[in-house]
Each structure stands twice: as C-alpha cells, then as structure tokens.
Structure 1
C-alpha cells in the first residue's frame, strides 16, 4: 500500500469538485482546439485557392515564354536586315562625304581668292 500519511485525506465532495473543475478545463481546451482547427481549415482553403491561382498564372507565363521563343528567330532576322540597311546607308553617306569634300575645298579656295581680290581692289 501507498503511504498517504503526509497528505490530507480528501472527502467525496472535494473529489467531485476537483473532477468537475478538471472536466470544465478539458471542455474549454477542446473548444479552443476546435476554434484553432476551424481557423486552420479556412487558412488551408485560402491556400488551396491561392495555389490554384498560382498554377493558372504559371501556365500563362509559360505560354508567354513559348511565344517569345517563337518570336525570337523572326526578331533576329529583322535585326539582321536592319543592320544590312544601316551598313548600306553608312556607305552611301561615306560616298556623299567623299563627293562633297572636293567641292568644299574648291569653295574655300574660291572664297579665299575672292576675299583677296576684294581686299586688293577695295571693294
């Protein structure tokens, strides 16, 4: 047998009160757990909806990337053609500059000569 000499002996009503108190505490704890589980359930439903929306967004993103991949070779072709056009325009401008350069030199020489004639004649 267990020695209970150091503890006071509980009466029946004290035991019933203690058990009732423990039952009420357990009931409150169960209610709290139920509330937490309800909140968790709502959170999980929201998370599920968000995951579904994320899946749809990722599918659209993947479609967009695929379209860009399809468009890239055509864009590269356009850039190549534009580079060819720019090269031709640069050649044309270079030819134009080389044609105009002697005219500029001749104009400068003629103006210089006319300025000397004006200075010497006093015009």
Structure 2
C-alpha cells in the first residue's frame, strides 16, 4: 500500500501546476477580451454616430409626417367644399333643364303656327326660291389692263 504522506507532495505539485495553468489561461483570456474591447471602441463610436444620424432622420420624418397630415387635412377640406359646389351645380343644372323644358313646351304652339304659315305662304307662292328675282350678274373686269373696267 502507498504511503499517503509520500503521495501528498505530488498532489500539491499537480495542484500547483493546474492553478498555474489556469492562471495563464485566465491571463490569455483577459488579453483576448482586452483586444476585443479595444477593437470594439471604434465600432461603438461609429454606431453612436449612426444612431445620432438616425435620430436626426427620425426628427425630419416627424416634421414631414406633420406636413403630410396637414396637407391631407387640407385635401379633405377641399373635397368637402367641392362636394358642396357639385351639389349646387347639380341643382342649377336641374333648374336649367326645367326651364328648357318649359321653354320648349311654350314654343311648340309658336313653332306649329310658324310651320303652318310657311305652308300657306308656299301655297300662295310667297317665300319659295322661284319667287325671288334673279340677281344681276356682276361686271367682269379686264385683268390685262390695270385700272380699266369692262
């Protein structure tokens, strides 16, 4: 059987080796983390600049959306007013159509009397194309001598 007292210095050495190895590994890990953090500094600064630009863009977008909302409100108001104008124009057109119908109805008897008068005048020989005297012929100018008429 092995003597536990003789075994003890070997275990302590192994333990010390493991602790030393762990310390070296931790030191390497810390160096790696410091390297990563050092590389991330410029990235984080660039990200900060980008976020600031994004904030400015969002502010501009807010202003643009407010203007768009105002424009849409103006369009809605204009559409409502135009609907009122169209309604009034439709009423005016309806009234004009009514007046035209009344005028056509009122003029029918006059048109009938006029047509009858033309018929009677035609029977009596008045108002036809043959009842007009022919127009006299215009004198023809001689084109060869300027200023001298025929």
TM-score after normalising by structure 1:
0.65
Which of 42, 67, 87 is the equivalent residue of 2:108? 87
Greater share of helix: 1
Measure how far apart 1:11 and its partner are: 6.6
Please say if 1:98 is aligned against 2:119. Answer: yes
Residues 30 and 99 from structure 1, CA distance in 2 versus in 1: closer, same or farther, beyond 3 angstroms? same
Unaligned runs of 5+ in 2: 1-30, 132-150
Please say if 1:10 is aligned against 2:67. Answer: no
What is the aligned partner in structure 2 of residue 34 from structure 1? 55
The higher relative CO (CA closer than 8 Å, separation ≥ 6) is in 2
Measure how far apart 1:64 and its partner are: 1.1
Measure how far apart 1:72 and its partner are: 4.0
Root mean square deviation, CA, Å: 2.8
Which of 67, 83, 86 is the equivalent residue of 1:65? 86
Aligned to 2:125, what secondary structure does the other structure show? Answer: helix
Unaligned runs of 5+ in 1: 1-8, 110-123
Structure-2 separation of matches of 1:52 and 1:68: 24
Structure-1 separation of matches of 2:33 and 2:68: 54
What is the aligned partner in structure 1 of residue 41 from structure 2? 20
Measure how far apart 1:36 and its partner are: 1.9
Please say if 1:44 is aligned against 2:65. Answer: yes
Runs of 4+ in 1 over 4 A off after TM superposition: none
Q: Number of matched residues?
A: 100
Please say if 1:76 is aligned against 2:97. Answer: yes
Question: Larger Rg: 1 or 2?
Answer: 2
